[in-house]
A and B are shown apart, each in its own frame.
Chain A
Amino acid sequence: MPLKRFLPLFIFAGILIAFMIGLSLKPSEIPSGLINKPVPDFSLPPLQGDGIGLSTADLIDPENIVIVNFFASWCGPCRVEHPALELLGKLDGVKLHGIAYKDRPKNSLSFLKSLGNPYDKIGADLKGRVAIDWGVTGTPETFIIKNGIIRYQHIGPIHQMQVDDLILPIIKNLQQEGAS
């Protein structure tokens, strides 16, 4: 019984182990190095004459839970998560801000015009410099912030079902945390 006949089995075992680790990782829920750290210092211009831009000060809000979402008009998954953002933007005690990542302001604006604009304030990160400070690996990515401290990072699109199962409980927890 030559050993090479076991090769497929060994390779598969390797893949299986990766899957096993992967299952506990959950790529969209991996804790980031920024969790429980203050938000990075930044100041971004608005999208071509639309609003006043976005800076660190906007994220330090004692009254509201702040959500920051990195998006881009060229990003397909951003379209997918858009309805979820609309929902989050309408919540009481929650402020949703957007950062347009490496996107022409013109395109971001037409993106928001066609899908609706869920954001309170929007900053344009034309070169993606601010995204580096935030440790953003790609769009979409979403951060939940309380009192200027990053509490949760979501990588990838927020699926409709995750709003109820994942995001809302986190927001509720953070809100109650302050009350006690």
Chain B
Amino acid sequence: MIAELGHYFLVLALGLTVIQAIFPMIGAARGSDRMMMLGQPAAYGQFFFSLLAFLALTYSYLISDFSVSVVARNSHSLKPLLYKISGVWGNHEGSLLFWVMFLALFGAMVAYFGKGLPKSLRARVLSVQAMVGIGFYLFMLLTSNPFDRLSDVPFEGNGLNPLLQDPGLVFHPPFLYLGYVGLSVVFSFAIAALIEGRVDPAWARWVRPWTLLAWVFLTIGIVLGSWWAYYELGWGGWWAWDPVENASFMPWLVATALLHSAIVVEKRDTLKSWTILLAIIAFSFSLLGTFIVRSGIITSVHAFATDPERGLYILVFLALVIGGSFLLFAIRSDKLQAGGLFAPISRESGLMINNLFLSVAAAVVLYGTMHPLLSDAFFGVKSSVGPPFFNLVFSLLMIPLVVTMVYGPHLKWKRADIKGVNQRLMAVTGIALLAGLMTFYVTYGGAIMPAIWIGIGVWLLLSSLQELASRIKLFQAPFKDSMSRLRRQPRSSWGMTLGHFGFAVGLLGIVGTSAWTIEAQKVMGLGEDMTIGDYRLTLKDVIPVAGPNYTAVRGIISVSPKNGAENGEIFIAYPETRTYVSSPITTTEGDVKTTMAGDLFIVIGESQGQGRWGIRAYYKPMQVWFWIGTIIVVLGGLISLSDRRYRIGSPQGQKASRKMKHAP
């Protein structure tokens, strides 16, 4: 009964979405207020019914209603509550429902907070948002109904792949989806602006919080996935350039570019059609990601069950949405007048170069991901480019990007003085060079790239601090003055400082862990030991343990310094290998000792007989820097998001809001 209601709500939501798509658009074209006003109630109603549908599916999962096909295929009555809930969006049908529910929520938010928007712009944004929505509702109802019933009701569900039963993965997909859907709002604003034929700083201020929100969600989503891979897959990898990882990375790169180019539109009223194009591309990549995951066109471990009918539907949908937008862009973008001019060396140029490299990076990822398909489709050759390609290209491409990150924030708008900046950066550059040289000296005989990268990372780290210091006139003005300047820094500029600083910290982590990871493995009996790096591992005991839906073998491994085990142990590691009840899969739960210097990652394999176990250990230098860096970056995004001038629903700039205070 509940499932049928859910299906019914979904159809109702579709009906309201059609209204939301048609009337505001016509109203905006004819200047009819009444038709435009229909957009808001339709958006609220659509959200209400899609939420009800989502709750109906969640309810089916909670009570383990195995007559619902999706629940039977993906859930299990013994599954912990958390995973029953996450199961709702852990599959093709449910994730679509999740998508569309948030699409409706964001539409409703535009309707609610958009009171300050020009009427016609708001109407058009809501209409475009609804058109995208229609595609998703139809996709669900025609090819992937989450409320399909089974005629023979099974006693027990199939269960969720135990690898996916992990807290990191509970929140990884929803954050990604929120990022993708957030970009849909930016997309709707871009299309609406193309139809209006007008992009101005107010438009950019409107788009910024949405871009930032989507970008923060995407960042969190990607990092959670990476963190899950690191802890759960048991080989200490955190990024593998898998097509599905790439599919989330491409919109992130473009959204990062968009974030920066929107600043130029806002401050200098220029780079308009480029910004619009980025907004379209960012969302196109989100849709493309959806397509890659669900059509089976590129093989990946992540893929959902594939179905040619679905693939064809998505392809037509993509052609309409993306092709239509690009066509609109081609016809209408010359209406956008460029504003302020700027010199080749200026903040604007810095942001443009940053955009260029981020876009090239996205194009490279697109090419690498599509390569197997392209060579197969056009040349009949099966081949793929693999991680070495991406690693090489990125390690080269990121250098100029970081250079612009170092210089950009120091440059003034319109025209900047590069000599002055060079002088200001002299000390920082010196220290960075020193850091690079020292790394080269310490690792002499090894690869040279890591040393270069350490230097570059340190350079960015320090220059972002120096930029803050010069903004608050540290050591130039009395200390008290500097502190009060520090307090008065707008939150958006905190966002930039933290964003760049965190990026540098994360970058150093990436360099450390990818360049100097060491690995050791040994089959050990009780009491035997092995060494890795500066550590000595002694296998003390191996005991069986029982969890809620698994049994496990747990190793007790004492870790002490390599030289002088008698000095006592540093800590005891408890790695586990779990075997799940519902499926014959084992998962490894490595035990990780994290220090700033590096992670010691210990994994226990299965018994090798005669009381011996295979133990694997990794030492991953500076791994934690990567996680800390991403946390700082996300923090920067959130702080920037809370900037009063840019809050969602505040179209006026600082000046305007100041004026309003004085108004009677």
Q: Which A residues lie at the B interface, using CB under 8 A? A: 1-2, 5-6, 8-9, 12-13, 15-16, 18-23, 25-28, 30, 76-77, 79-80, 82-83, 86, 110, 113-116, 137, 155-157, 159-161
Contacts and interface: CB of A to CB of B under 8 A. Distances in A.
A8 B311 CA distance: 23
A25 B315 contact: no
B33 interface: no
Contacts of B614: 110
B295 interface: yes
B233 interface: yes
Contact of B606 (A5, A19, A110): A110
A21 B375 CA distance: 11
B295 A23 contact: yes
- In order of increasing CB-CB distance, the 3 nearest A-B pairs are A21-B377, A114-B606, A9-B326
B362 to A, nearest CB: 12
| B interface: dominant SS | helix
A87 to B, nearest CB: 10
B368 interface: no
Contacts of A114: 577, 586, 605-606
B373 A18 contact: yes
B608 interface: yes
A110 B605 CA distance: 8
Interface in B369-391: 370, 372-374, 376-378, 382-383
A25 B377 contact: yes
Most chain A CB inside 10 Å of its own CB: which residue of B297, B333, B607: B297
Given A5-B329, A161-B305, A19 B315 contact: yes
B583 A19 contact: no
A80 B382 CA distance: 22
A52 to B, nearest CB: 21
B377 A18 contact: yes
Contact of A13 (B323, B334, B374, B585): B323
Interface residues of B, number: 50
A86 B608 CA distance: 21
Contacts of A159: 303, 305
Contacts of B273: 5
25 contacts: A1-B331, A5-B329, A5-B330, A8-B280, A9-B326, A9-B327, A9-B330, A12-B322, A15-B370, A18-B370, A18-B374, A18-B377, A20-B315, A22-B376, A22-B377, A23-B308, A23-B315, A25-B373, A25-B376, A25-B377, A30-B382, A77-B301, A110-B605, A110-B614, A115-B585
A98 to B, nearest CB: 16
A16 B318 contact: yes
Interface of B: 158, 233, 273, 277, 280-281, 284, 291, 295-299, 301, 303, 305, 308, 311-312, 315, 318-319, 322-323, 326-327, 329-331, 333-334, 370, 372-374, 376-378, 382-383, 577, 583-586, 605-608, 614
B281 A110 contact: no
Nearest to A21: B377
B299 A155 contact: yes
Given A26-B296, A27-B297, A12 B323 contact: yes
Nearest to B326: A9
A8 B334 contact: no
Given A23-B308, A27-B298, A18 B584 contact: no
A30 B607 CA distance: 39
A143 to B, nearest CB: 16
A110 B297 CA distance: 33
A116 B299 CA distance: 25
Contacts of A161: 305
A1 B372 CA distance: 36
B233 A76 contact: yes
Nearest to B375: A18
Most chain B CB inside 10 Å of its own CB: which residue of A6, A15, A161: A15
A164 B554 CA distance: 36
Given A18-B377, A159-B305, A27 B372 contact: yes
A19 B584 contact: no
A137 B280 CA distance: 36
Nearest to B323: A12
A56 B414 CA distance: 74
Most chain B CB inside 10 Å of its own CB: which residue of A79, A114, A159: A114
Given A5-B333, A6-B330, A83-B584, 15 more contacts: A2-B334, A8-B280, A8-B281, A9-B326, A9-B329, A21-B377, A21-B378, A23-B311, A25-B376, A26-B308, A27-B382, A28-B296, A113-B608, A137-B382, A155-B382
A86 B607 CA distance: 21
Nearest to A5: B330
